[in-house]
Amino acid sequence: MHSDKLKTNMKRNRSTLFAVEGRPFIIPLVVLTLILAVVQCAWWVILSAAVTFFVAYFFRNPPRDIPGEDKAVISPADGRIVQKKLVSNNEYLNSDAMKVSVFMNVFNVHVNRAPFAGKVLRVEYHPGKFVNASFDKASELNERNAVTIETDDGKKILFVQIAGLIARRIVCYVNEGDCLAKGERFGLIRFGSRVDVYLPVDAQINVNIGDKVIAGETVLGYIK
């Protein structure tokens, strides 16, 4: 039943203005703001309206123009590149990989998108700490959810949702055996976080540390 609900949310997120996970936050805040307006609590109305606007802004779910290049790997998250390096014996892939990390602050869109098309081989959730997601150690210490897919060419790509200092809830819609399209929404992380992408070692990486990226649109590199 829980899996069915998540898949329903995934479908609804394709066309909704706000991610459905934001409704439990947005709707009560809207109701509170209206009540305060009725009883004419001016300053409280302003404060409540401001909080409502911020929460709604955080859960926004904009459409994106997905690049049509077959070999292009796109960013799974809005934010900036905080890491790009070769890592040895990745714990999920058991092989060397090129790691690209995208840090999201609280003002970025937090709906995550699949960086490449493929079949989901494995989904692994790990509880953990909540250190600043921009730190390298967050990849090993923080709460995280790892999704491994296999492309049509038999190559494996891993992307890991990592909770941050403020984020305390990772949402992932996909399960083992699901097929993801490039740019398809697969989850989100609430209130500040990071997504790591692990690519084959021969992948061409086109971004550098400090670059700003857009989920579903910015090309991180190319699979050979």
Residues identified as active-site: 193
Tokens of 20: 């459905």
Question: How far is 78 from 69, CA to CA, in rounded Å?
Answer: 20
The kind and range of the H/E element at 5 are: helix 2-13
DSSP string, 25-72: HHHHHHHHHHHHHHTT-HHHHHHHHHHHHHHHHHTB---------TTE
Tokens of 81: 């590149």
